[in-house]
Each structure stands twice: as C-alpha cells, then as structure tokens.
Structure 1
Amino acid sequence: MAAWSTSTASSWCLWGLSDGLEDQLYACLANRRWAHAVVSQQPFVNVTRFLAVAVEAMNTLTDQEWLEAMKAHPRIGERGGGAPDSSVREQSHAMQSPPATLEALDAENRRYEDKFGHVFLIAASGRSGDEILAELRRRMSNDPATEFTEAKRELRKITLLRLEKIRFP
C-alpha cells in the first residue's frame, strides 16, 4: 500500500505509488481512463494536489463511463466474490443490521436496479442498515435524471474516501 512522506516541514512528496498505482486507483473507481489520467499527472507534490487531480479527471468522465463504473460496484449488502474488501469494510456497520433489514435492503436494491438500471450507491461507511434503507426508499421517488446525478455524487464520495485510504495505509 502507498504512503505519504514529508521531505521537509513544508513540502510533501508521494512515494511508493508508482508501481501499481493505476490498479489501486481502479479499485477506487472502476474506470481505466480515469485511473490512467491520474497516474499520468505524477509526481504529486502534496495530498491536496493528488486529490485535485483525481477530481479533475472525474470531471471528464462521460455519463456512459459513470454508468460502467456503477455497474462494477457491488450492491449494498453483497458479500462474497463480487464484493471488494473496500466495499465490505465500508458496509460493515450496515451489515450488522437485523435480518429483516438486510432482507428489505436486498428487495429494495432489486427494485431500484429495475427502475434505474444500475446499483444503488451510497457512501455507506458508518451508516446503519436502517439509514441506508430509508435513503434508498427516498431516492426511489426520484426521476431517472435526478437519481443518476445523486448516484454519481455518491460514487464521487465513495471514491474520495477510498483515495484518502491510499495515502494512509
């Protein structure tokens, strides 16, 4: 995993990210063009610049690229093969919910996918299953364009949270 190091009191340098950085970034947001665009801007003089480059590259993604990244994301509550470790950690609090809540999340997730054509996305870290379920139900009343905007916003939040973990292994 990568790490940030101070070379002087006022200057930061990134080390240990060159090898495999593109794969680490892809694990944060499943879009190779985005990951390559971020990698191509190295070296990063500080954490702020690294995150700014990542956001700038996100701003260039097309709706189709966002949709593909959404489709690569596991469902809330999904365990096993398709769920990366980061998703399992982010959803750990919600997954401690009672079985009835988890069953409702599963059913509502499927209704959501039928309506909007992609998985329900929410920055789940620290949220209970009931909180996520309430938000899922609220967003079911959105029209497709509004919901796509909300889903992109949530995927940005998830991505930024994951990027911050790259700097702090």
Structure 2
Amino acid sequence: MTSSFPTPGLARFNALEERAGVAALHEVCASVEWGRRLLAGRPYATVDDLLAASDAAMAGLTAGDLEEAMAAHPPIGRPKSGDPTSAREQRGMADASEELRAEMLELNLAYQEKFGHVFLICATGRSGEQMRDAIEERIGNPPEREREIVRTELGKINRIRLTRLLGQDTPV
C-alpha cells in the first residue's frame, strides 16, 4: 500500500544528506542518472509523488543508463551471495527443482547472448515456473521491444525497493 500523505520514512528520505541519499538510491537502482533525478526532485510531499518521480526518471533513461541499472542485477536463479535483497526478490527460485534450475541457467545464457544483458524481471511474488515461462516468451522479442519491457520491469523493481526503503508495505 502506498501513501498519498507524508510518512516518517519519506521525511527521513527527504532529509538525507546528498551522499547518504546517493548511497540509499544506489541500493535501489544502480543507474546514477535515475538516482540523480530522484534526489533533484526532493522534497517529496507524498510517497506517491516519489514513486511517480521514479517512474518518470525511469522513462527518461538512455540505453546506457538502462545498461548501468541492469548490470547490478544477478541472473534469475543465482542471487548475489550474502545479499538479502537479491535472495528475497528471487525467493520463487529457492525451492525450484534441479531440472528447473538447469533450464533457467540455459535460458539465461541464451537470453544474455541474444540481448547482451541478464534477463530482468520483477521476480517478487513469481514462481520459478512463471519466471521460466516469461523468459521463454521474451527471448523471441526484438531488441527494441525487449528494452522497453526491461525498462518496465526495472520500474516495478524500483517501486518495490523504494517502498521498502521508506519502511512502507510493498506496492501491488
């Protein structure tokens, strides 16, 4: 649930010193430009305003900015070791069979070979099978279409992470 009014977490975010704000936003999204745009928009009156600014910043990212953001995401099925965010977001693969893990590895490699970056999906709440089905569907996309899907998926991930950063419930 997002908020159309100020919250303590939003007040803390608005008050962060520049360096702390950069660091906090980098944990949400590795795109320097996305973080710069969000910091430049402070103070935000509501959580919804911050999320809308995140969406607008994501829409304005160049292909290079998107590559920078994607580079921080591990492949599905292989969360970053010791990273609770990565493990939480990829929870749907935690109980996947060895067969499904092997299939995802193969699909991830084929996807990366075709598009030059990891398969990116908002994995929160998705099962391993749903992620496999998504990569199978998306691997046939032309690069331009896939880049826009990646932009949308990054936007979803950023919304979830921003909401968590503010100590809110995760948006649906």
Q: TM-score, normalising length from structure 1?
A: 0.85
Q: Distance in 1 between matches of 2:72 and 2:80?
A: 14
Q: Which has the higher strand share?
A: 1
After superposition, residues 97-136 of structure 1 pair within 5 angstroms as 97-136=96-135
Q: Which moved more, 1:91-100 or 1:117-126?
A: 91-100
Residue 56 of structure 1 aligns with which residue? 56
Measured after TM superposition, the shift of residue 84 of structure 1 is 3.7
Q: Distance in 1 between matches of 2:158 and 2:92?
A: 19
Q: What amino acid does structure 1 have at the position aligned with 2:6?
A: W
Runs of 4+ in 1 over 3 A off after TM superposition: none
After superposition, residues 33-112 of structure 1 pair within 5 angstroms as 33-81=33-81, 84-112=83-111
Q: Given that residues 34 and 57 in structure 1 are in contact (C-alpha distance below 8 angstroms), is that contact kept between their aligned partners in structure 2?
A: yes
Unaligned runs of 5+ in 1: 1-5
Measured after TM superposition, the shift of residue 72 of structure 1 is 2.1
Residue 12 of structure 1 aligns with which residue? 6
* 1:57–1:104 Cα change, 3 Å: same
Q: State which structure, 1 or 2, has the greater radius of gyration over its C-alpha atoms.
A: 1
Q: Which has the higher helix share?
A: 2
* 1:71–1:11 Cα change, 3 Å: closer
Q: TM-score, normalising length from structure 2?
A: 0.84
Q: Distance in 2 between matches of 1:116 and 1:80?
A: 21
Deviations 1:116-169, CA, capped at 9 Å, x for gaps: 111001111111111111111111111111111111111111111111111226
Residue 3 of structure 1 aligns with which residue? none
Residue 160 of structure 2 aligns with which residue? 161
Q: Distance in 1 between matches of 2:148 and 2:6?
A: 34
Residue 137 of structure 1 aligns with which residue? 136
Q: Distance in 1 between matches of 2:47 and 2:89?
A: 22
Q: Given that residues 95 and 102 in structure 1 are in contact (C-alpha distance below 8 angstroms), is that contact kept between their aligned partners in structure 2?
A: no
Instruction: Supply the RMSD in Å over aligned alpha carbons.
Output: 2.2
Deviations 1:36-94, CA, capped at 9 Å, x for gaps: 2211222211111111222222222111111221122111111344x743221011122
Q: Given that residues 94 and 126 in structure 1 are in contact (C-alpha distance below 8 angstroms), is that contact kept between their aligned partners in structure 2?
A: no
Q: Distance in 2 between matches of 1:152 and 1:80?
A: 21
Query: In percent, how many aligned pairs have the same letter?
Result: 31
Tell me the SS of whatever aligns to 1:12: coil
Measured after TM superposition, the shift of residue 114 of structure 1 is 0.3
Tell me the SS of whatever aligns to 2:60: coil
Tell me the SS of whatever aligns to 2:122: coil
Q: Given that residues 123 and 158 in structure 1 are in contact (C-alpha distance below 8 angstroms), is that contact kept between their aligned partners in structure 2?
A: yes
Unaligned runs of 5+ in 2: none
